[in-house]
Amino acid sequence: MPEVKSTCCYCGVGCGVIIETTANQSGDLVVSGVRGDPAHPANFGKLCSKGSTLHLTAQPHLQKQGRLGFPAIRQNREDDPIQVTWPEAIDTVARRFAKIIHQYGPDSVGIYVSGQLLTEDYYLFNKLMKGLIGSNNIDTNSRLCMSSAVAGYKQTLGMDAPPCSYEDIELASTIFITGSNTAFAHPILYRRLEAARQARPEMKVIVVDPRRTDTAKDADLYLQIQPGTDVALYHGMLHIMLWEKWLDESYIASFTVGFEELKNLVRDFTPKAVAKICGIEEKDLYQASQWFAQSPGTLSLYCQGLNQSASGTAKNAALINLHLATGQIGKPGAGPFSLTGQPNAMGGREVGGLANLLSAHRDLSNPVHRSEVANFWGVEQVPEKPGLTAIPMFEALRTKELKAIWIVCTNPAQSMPDLNAVHEGLKNAELVVVQEAYANTATTLYADILLPATTWAEKIGTVTNSERTISKVNPAIAPFASAKHDWQIALEIARALEQLLTNHKKDGLTTLFPYNSAEDIWNEHRATTEGRDLDITGLSYQILEDHGPQQWPMPKGAAHGKKRLYEDGIFPTKDQKAHFIATPYTATAETVDARYPFALNTGRLRDQWHGMSRTGTLGTLFAHAPEPSIEISPKDASRMLLTNGDLVHVTSRRGSEIFPVKISEDIANSQAFIAMHWGSEFISGSAGKHPSRGVNGLTCSRIDPISGQPELKHAAIKILPVNLP
Ligand code: SF4
């Protein structure tokens, strides 16, 4: 039976998979197995617990139970949706959007997309909103996971591009893992790290995390910092490096600007002061600084612990400062390497699928970039006014400033912070369109119109992983029921809307959307990259099929992409230098106090994916963590007379949820941890059965002022036992 090469849809490692199929009784192909692609440069044939069970999630009986199969419309939010035809659904979405746009203007509507979308889908939605509708109100759930990394790279290095490759894990002498539980969130990369350590036992691994994660337990040096104190830590490390003369003065002088200001700033970050702020030993701070600076190659791996913060950009920049100051960049085994959470958060960045970006890493704020993109698209202009980013978008629904939202391939009614406000926003919306593969998410409950989309094993297009490698995603089976590809749905609605909104149609042009395939869209995206930092004009679908995944940039004439950026010390800034950023340390947006004395941390489980719409269908993936819990330290549990399984009210300034207690040595005193995946559940325990919305009923929606990323990693809470009857 046919086998198809594709890409895992779970995380930003972007592992290659081979999908095995078999024919059912009707002769239709069904997915029968999955194995790692030995030729894929991310995983070389390996898969983690999630990836290796992908085929089970595509079993026909699970599809029938959980998939959205047909377009449907609700007359009232309280009613069940009624199945309609595709033409009826497309026409209704276009007419209702057009009516709202005519009545209130283009900025009265928004599109909220996802890092699960393929690059082609992303490109089309972006063009639809910014080119046709004439608003920049399109943002993505990737805002919640990587926008601080984008801002950090751009501030310091001049462009949004991780400068490293996965093979740098094998080449590094010191690996500095900070704000990342790589063992759980990027398991195949962690296996590469484990293999590298076995091959070269002299390699040092430093882990910085408030929680003693599985990654931290393996470290040569573990710094259990207080939540949100990362900037103080990095400034303190730089202070020691300066004092000990461990810096690369020649690199600083030749390739950077702004060091004097940073030097003045870190003067006050003495080892004693930093040890106190971070809650660590001075000797550990010193050791980390020495290994970082004096190693032949230091690679930093970082993720949501830095990004999901109201000072996320400052954290990213302060870490990159260390690499620049020590010359640990632009050489094998060195560099600041942000790991993306979602499978195609990178692709979304490439096509400018965020409210402040435009195609091919162009900036909305740059008039030349706006004009270039308008010319590409054949529209008069791209609007100048910045669009609503994720958190303000749902807030604008709440205040009724935004009237309509089209939510694609994501579940904000579970995944956004401060869910009470998000649910209020969805209730207040005049029109909610939900384009989804799954029927029963927290968000589909609010949908006026439901549009069924294809998903993994059915889709075609491309994704880009954390190391800038573009891989093909290929279909192995036919779409479920009458589901369509995301780009097809967007295309049909775009063309219908185009008939109703003529203000951006260029004279003589029949359509702004002249595509017949995903490849047509990708080719247009490719053309927009010419001469840009991510130039992929040397790449094609055919090359990806024939020669496998390729890294960008890969301009015309290049035989392959670039493994490492900035090897020549030239940066894509105006002065061609890297920029040190001197940002003072600030505490978390919400501080603990007498009323809310616990610092709540959030994160991933090993075997679950986001809101569990896919992984939650497999019993085998619950063996590792069968139910929601709040983890607290033995000392706190003892103080509150709590034992494992006791139910507690967990309350923040935004809401209250019930969780069973799990006592864990991995949690520091006065801290707590709840995994991000659990959504609407009934929590059972000795004190009965209680509904819960999961951790985002508690989390904080304060955002980083530069990146717009919310502080999902920290909230102040109190914990009180549920009274027994
Ligand atoms: Fe899929 Fe990520 Fe696991 Fe690779 S590491 S198999 S991409 S979930």
**CATH number of the domain enclosing 682:** 2.40.40.20
> CB of 148 closer than 6 A to ligand 1?
no
CB neighbours of residue 392 within 10 Å: 21
> CB of 9 closer than 6 A to ligand 1?
no
Picking from 40, 66, 92, the residue at the C-terminal end of a domain is 66
What rounded mean pLDDT belongs to the chain? Answer: 95
Among 44, 46, 50, say which to mutate for ligand 1: greatest number of ligand atoms within 8 Å of CB.
Answer: 50
The total domain count for the chain is 4
Tell me the pLDDT tens digit for each residue of 231-281: 999 999 999 999 999 999 999 999 999 999 999 999 999 999 999 999 999
Tell me the pLDDT tens digit for each residue of 396-444: 999 999 999 999 999 999 999 999 999 999 999 999 999 999 998 999 9
Picking from 66, 83, 113, the residue at the C-terminal end of a domain is 66
Instruction: Assess if residue 181 is contained within a domain.
Output: yes
Residue 26 sits in a domain whose CATH number is 2.20.25.90
Banded pLDDT at 626 (limits 50, 70, 90): confident
Distance 239 CA to ligand 1 centre (A): 38
> CB of 187 closer than 6 A to ligand 1?
yes
What ipTM describes this predicted complex? 1.00
pTM: 0.96
> CB of 370 closer than 6 A to ligand 1?
no
Is the pLDDT at 635 greater than 70, yes or no? yes
Picking from 499, 527, 555, the residue at the C-terminal end of a domain is 527
Site of tokens 């640990």: 328
The secondary structure of 630-687 as a DSSP string is EEE-HHHHHHTT--TT-EEEEE-SS-EEEEEEEE-TTSPTTEEEEES---SEEEEETT
- The answer to whether the peptide bond before residue 336 is cis (omega within 30 degrees of 0) is no
> CB of 54 closer than 6 A to ligand 1?
no
* Contacts of residue 725, Cβ cutoff 8 Å, sequence gap at least 6: 687, 688
> CB of 13 closer than 6 A to ligand 1?
yes
Beta strand pairing call for 681-685 and 688-692: antiparallel
Banded pLDDT at 199 (limits 50, 70, 90): very high
493 in the same domain as 350: yes
Is the pLDDT at 717 greater than 50, yes or no? yes
Tell me the pLDDT tens digit for each residue of 438-450: 998 999 999 999 9
Instruction: Assess if residue 556 is contained within a domain.
Output: no
> CB of 642 closer than 6 A to ligand 1?
no
Calpha distance 295→266 (Å, rounded): 22
311 in the same domain as 362: no
Give nearest CA residue, ligand 1 atom 4: 15
Is the pLDDT at 90 greater than 50, yes or no? yes
Banded pLDDT at 607 (limits 50, 70, 90): confident
> Does residue 541 contact residue 519 with C-beta atoms inside 8 Å?
yes
Structural domain harbouring 174 = 147-338
413 in the same domain as 302: no
Calpha distance 701→710 (Å, rounded): 5
190 in the same domain as 151: yes
Between CA 350 and CA 352, with CA 351 as vertex, the angle to 5 degrees is: 95
Tell me the pLDDT tens digit for each residue of 453-512: 999 999 999 999 999 999 999 999 999 999 999 999 999 999 999 999 975 444 555 689
> CB of 582 closer than 6 A to ligand 1?
no
Distance 51 CA to ligand 1 centre (A): 5
> CB of 262 closer than 6 A to ligand 1?
no
Reference 500, options 101, 135, 136; nearest CA is 101
* The predicted structure's pLDDT at residue 508: 53
CB neighbours of residue 23 within 10 Å: 12
- Across residues 565-574, what is the average pLDDT? 97
Instruction: Assess if residue 715 is contained within a domain.
Output: yes
Calpha distance 129→115 (Å, rounded): 17
Instruction: Assess if residue 98 is contained within a domain.
Output: yes
* Contacts of residue 285, Cβ cutoff 8 Å, sequence gap at least 6: 223, 233, 236, 237, 240, 271, 274, 275, 278
Calpha distance 152→201 (Å, rounded): 32
Nearest-atom index, ligand 1, CA of 42: 4
Among 6, 8, 9, say which to mutate for ligand 1: greatest number of ligand atoms within 8 Å of CB.
Answer: 8
Nearest-atom index, ligand 1, CA of 609: 8
* Joined tokens for residue 494: 């775009």
Instruction: Assess if residue 210 is contained within a domain.
Output: yes
Site of tokens 């009210």: 649
> CB of 50 closer than 6 A to ligand 1?
yes
Is the pLDDT at 517 greater than 60, yes or no? yes
206 in the same domain as 140: no
Is the pLDDT at 690 greater than 70, yes or no? no
Q: How many CA within 13 A on the CB side of residue 304?
A: 22
281 in the same domain as 166: yes
Tell me the pLDDT tens digit for each residue of 576-601: 999 999 999 999 999 999 999 999 99
Distance 100 CA to ligand 1 centre (A): 41
Instruction: Assess if residue 264 is contained within a domain.
Output: yes
Is the pLDDT at 62 greater than 80, yes or no? yes
Specify whether the backbone of 361 is left (phi greater than 0), alpha (psi in -120 to 50) or beta: left
175 in the same domain as 121: no
* Contacts of residue 282, Cβ cutoff 8 Å, sequence gap at least 6: 271, 272, 275
> CB of 47 closer than 6 A to ligand 1?
yes
